[in-house]
A and B are shown apart, each in its own frame.
Chain A
């Protein structure tokens, strides 16, 4: 039988924090959308996380904005499988059912005391971004909880 859930480190990626009040081609808050060769995640009314292939140079943005390379600040975990939502739900106080947390929704929140960015990439697939120094704890907490599934 296949594992109900797998937890894997995501490959290296380029990450940029984008702040602008004149968003063009960017998703609204709490949503994600394709952006260049990757994705943009709407974290706040004027804040986006750009996830792009490793080595991508800073994208050109129109208008007044701030763009910061945060590629080395984060690590990401890919949590996938039929029990992925159940596993993450153990540490997150948001309702992760599909009607309130649909595919492509993204938000900053807290998992077991660690600030994360939670992005639902599929019905049974999530990407969790965390600051590098917290990622080890996050990984251990998820693996521990997965043992109880």
Chain B
């Protein structure tokens, strides 16, 4: 079983307490009326589908209940880092460049 670090509980907890919630950092467009059908379709359905490092949402549904984000490698299934919802993608606002020091 995977152990996933919840940034709110600040503990590594068993995978079965968590729910997966899709790709992270996808903001709802502020003015959907101004969008073409193709743009709206892209917002709704088109995802990165990364092979490798992926930024994604998880929810500690059978724990503290909170949504948070994770950096996971889709090839190795390794969680490089988790972080609270609402903070920028690691590497954008801080100096994070990879796995080192990110995992608890």
Identify the A interface with B (CB < 8 A): 29-30, 43-45, 47, 93-94, 107-110, 115
Given known contacts A93-B1, A93-B14, A94-B14, is B62 in contact with A109 (CB within 8 Å)? yes
Residues of B in contact, count (CB < 8 Å): 13
For A109, list chain B residues within 8 Å (CB): 13, 17, 62-63
Q: List 22 A-B contacts (CB under 8 A).
A: A30-B11, A43-B64, A43-B65, A44-B63, A44-B64, A44-B65, A47-B64, A47-B65, A93-B1, A93-B14, A93-B17, A94-B14, A107-B63, A108-B63, A108-B65, A109-B13, A109-B17, A109-B62, A110-B14, A110-B16, A110-B17, A115-B62
For B1, list chain A residues within 8 Å (CB): 93
For A115, list chain B residues within 8 Å (CB): 62
For B13, list chain A residues within 8 Å (CB): 94, 109
Which of A30, A45, A93, A110 is the one whose CB lies under 8 Å from B66? A45
B9 contacts partner chain A, Cβ-Cβ < 8 Å: yes
Total cross-chain contacts (CB, 8 A):
38
For B62, list chain A residues within 8 Å (CB): 108-110, 115
Q: Give min CB distance, A137 to chain B, whole Å.
A: 16
> 1/0 per residue B59-86: CB within 8 Å of A?
0001111100000000000000000000
In the complex, A115→B17 CA distance in Å? 9
Chief secondary structure at chain A's binding surface: strand
Q: Give min CB distance, A141 to chain B, whole Å.
A: 15
Which of A29, A93, A94, A110 is the one whose CB lies under 8 Å from B8? A29
Q: Give min CB distance, B7 to chain A, whole Å.
A: 10
Closest partner residue, chain A, to B16 (CB atom): A110
Q: Give min CB distance, B13 to chain A, whole Å.
A: 7
For A44, list chain B residues within 8 Å (CB): 8, 63-66
For B65, list chain A residues within 8 Å (CB): 43-44, 47, 108
